[in-house]
Amino acid sequence: MKTAFIGHRQIFSKTLPQRLIEAIKAEIKNGCFSFAMGTHGEFDRLALQSCRKLRNEYPELQIEVVLTSLHTIQKRNEWDSTPYSDVSTVLYDIEEAHFKQRITLSNRKMIDTCDVLICYVDENAYRSGAKTAMRYAKSKGLRIINLYDEKDKPFYATDV
């Protein structure tokens, strides 16, 4: 069993980190110890950070980071560290694709290898790669856990 993470580049929620930890723990209790995420937004970084944190409690956790280009793991100088040295990395055969299509293609290939999608997707967003990926996951029959809450919008107000 494997779980993927897909979400918007920007996060406007202070409660999302805790909701994400709870969702990952629930998947671990369901028997999932393999998690995959990309590298292109705040939700991806939060998913990686959360999985790394939970690996202290669950050392058998397998973390896979899906790259869209090798430049994300290349050291720029001798003081630079390799950002994913403690996890597995995957680079799908997408280098022939236009750079703007690489994230979409990587998301699809990652979803094709998973059973569950934990996402942070505003389904009312006009155009969104995360929304497109979530719809693709639904069409493939993945179980979807969407952590987005209408209160996460930056201008949400209950007093209006």
> Can you tell me the mean pLDDT for 38-63?
93
Residue 129 pLDDT: 87
pLDDT tens digit sequence for 4-13: 999 988 888 8
pLDDT tens digit sequence for 73-110: 555 555 545 566 777 777 767 677 676 777 788 889 99
DSSP codes of every residue in 99-133: TTTHHHHHHHHHHHT-SEEEEE--TT-SS-HHHHH
Is residue 156 domain-resident? no
Please give the model's pTM, rounded to 2 decimal places: 0.84
Is residue 160 domain-resident? no
What is the phi-psi region of residue 31: left when phi exceeds 0, alpha when psi lies from -120 to 50, beta otherwise? left
Is residue 159 domain-resident? no
Which residues is 158 bridged to in the sheet? none
Distances (CA, A) of 47 to 79, 101, 120: 26, 22, 10
DSSP state of 1: -
Number of domains in the chain: 1
- Structural domain of 125: 3-150
> Can you tell me the mean pLDDT for 48-57?
95
Is residue 79 domain-resident? yes
CATH of residue 57's domain is 3.40.50.450
The number of CA neighbours under 13 Å toward the Cβ of 145 is 17
Secondary structure class of 89 (helix, strand, coil): strand
